[in-house]
Amino acid sequence: MKKIFSIVGAGRLGTSLASALVRRGWRVALIVDKDLGAAREARGIIGAGRASAAIGRAAKPGDVVILAVPDDAVGAAAAALARTGGDWTGRAVLHTSGLLPARVLDPLREKGARTASLHPVQTFPRKDTPAAAFKGITWGVEGDAEAVRTAGAIVRDLGGNMLFISERTKPLYHAACALASNALVALEGTAAGLLRRAGIGEETALSVLFPLVQGTLQNVKNLGFEKALTGPVKRGDAATVRRHLEALKAAPEAGEVYRIIGRRLLDLAGKGGPPAKKVRTLRRLLGGR
């Protein structure tokens, strides 16, 4: 298999992915973005390939085309490529959406392309995210067998792991990824907001919370969800929870988050949680049944 590809979408993921592949021996033919400036910026970071604003050019060079565009642009990009009239027979076309199925690439499949979705379970906050960010991560994969083999070559070269998912379950899979990543940011932002109310600055708040979050994640990894739980809900300490809720009246949005998370903590605690009588008390405090 020739390791030649073109990337459509010069955003954070597209640029980071292309750069990582080039550093693993792949050759990038073209970097396409409707914003030519973005494509040129990406080309500078990648250090190879040609920049273009014309999506039709991606129909010509290379064996693999990767669409790293926003979800609402994948279908339009596929349709635009299909209209170019190039020979797509046997070529692999992959999109990186965690939500959309490979079927959204059907305009190209009807032209003979092999199609799949290839979604990295990782965050890319910058265009110049180092290649090491791909090592050890999981990629959600779904699509034609031949395109999945191409996706597998990409994942292996980047040191990742493949997770085969179905079109039917992709929305649940993607919702889980969004909760694990984005909801964590929102939760920590809420916690930092409470520390600001307590007179603690943002920089100090981060230094306080970050080791706690790291330790918690390590406990989840080593012990699992139930055994990693600590704190007043796990102990059945209704008096502490009551005092928290009193204090949170001054921050009602944070109070709502506290109640929702508290109810979920009770569910996760399972048999290792507080006795039934304390669970009932906590559920009343937290607004559950």
Rounded Cα distance, 84 and 60, in Å: 9
CB 35 within 8 A of CB 42: no
pLDDT at 273: 83
Say whether both 193 and 254 belong to one domain.
Answer: yes
Say whether both 199 and 125 belong to one domain.
Answer: no
List, in sequence order, the alpha helices (H) in 88-169: 106-109, 145-157
- The helix (H) or strand (E) run that includes residue 32 is strand 27-32
pLDDT single digits (tens) 269-278: 877 788 989 9
Say whether both 9 and 107 belong to one domain.
Answer: yes
CB 42 within 8 A of CB 18: yes
Say whether both 13 and 84 belong to one domain.
Answer: yes
Say whether both 160 and 197 belong to one domain.
Answer: no
pLDDT at 73: 97
Say whether both 218 and 160 belong to one domain.
Answer: no
- Domain final residue pick, 168, 198, 218: 168
- Domain final residue pick, 135, 168, 201: 168
Say whether both 125 and 185 belong to one domain.
Answer: no
CATH number for the domain that contains residue 185: 1.10.1040
pLDDT at 272: 77
Please state the domain count of the chain: 2
CATH number for the domain that contains residue 132: 3.40.50.720
Quote the domain boundaries for residue 80: 4-168
pTM equals 0.89
Say whether both 117 and 217 belong to one domain.
Answer: no
**For every one of its 289 residues, what pLDDT tens digit does the chain have, with 9 covering 90 and above?**
669 999 999 999 999 999 999 999 999 999 999 999 999 999 999 999 999 999 988 887 778 999 999 999 999 999 999 998 788 999 999 999 999 999 999 999 999 999 999 999 999 999 999 999 999 999 999 999 999 999 999 999 999 999 999 999 999 999 999 999 999 999 999 999 999 999 999 999 999 999 999 999 999 999 999 999 999 999 999 999 999 999 999 999 999 999 999 999 999 887 778 898 999 999 999 996 5
CB 126 within 8 A of CB 114: no
CB 125 within 8 A of CB 151: no
Say whether both 27 and 111 belong to one domain.
Answer: yes
